[in-house]
Amino acid sequence: MSGRVQRSPNDNPAVLLLDLKLPKVDGLQVLQQIKSDERLKLIPVVVLTSSHEEKDMMRSYKLGVNAYVVKPVDFHEFVNAIKELGVFWAVINEPPPGSVKKAP
């Protein structure tokens, strides 16, 4: 990876990582707002959470999440999981046409 942040033409991020267990707001409500906003709905959203709850996973997918990842407890495993997610979304995944500028 080049270390560059890829942005879409309208300056949206290439991918969003979302935790369901946020301090003041329900992560599923945030996901619902993202996916109902025309400017944001094509941004891939990865739920990165400690929740193993089947209801959280099912609701996330029904609301349009692109991936659901349960955070590893071990710090080094967590760092490796984040690196792998970054490689997948920045290098391997093919975004919708015109949604992300490719890094030179």
Q: What are phi and psi of 84, to 5 degrees?
A: -65, -40
- The answer to whether residue 9 sits within a structural domain is no
Report the domain count for the chain: 1
pLDDT of residue 58: 96
The model carries a pTM of: 0.74
- Residue ranges of the chain with per-residue pLDDT less than 50: 1-3, 5, 7-8, 104
Looking up residue 52, the CATH number of its domain turns out to be 3.40.50.2300
- The answer to whether residue 97 sits within a structural domain is no
pLDDT of residue 92: 80
What residue numbers bound the domain in which 50 lies? 16-92
pLDDT tens digits for 70-90? 988 888 988 888 888 888 877
Please tell me whether residue 33 adopts helix, strand or coil conformation: helix
pLDDT of residue 93: 78
pLDDT of residue 68: 93
User: Across-strand partners of 18?
Assistant: 47
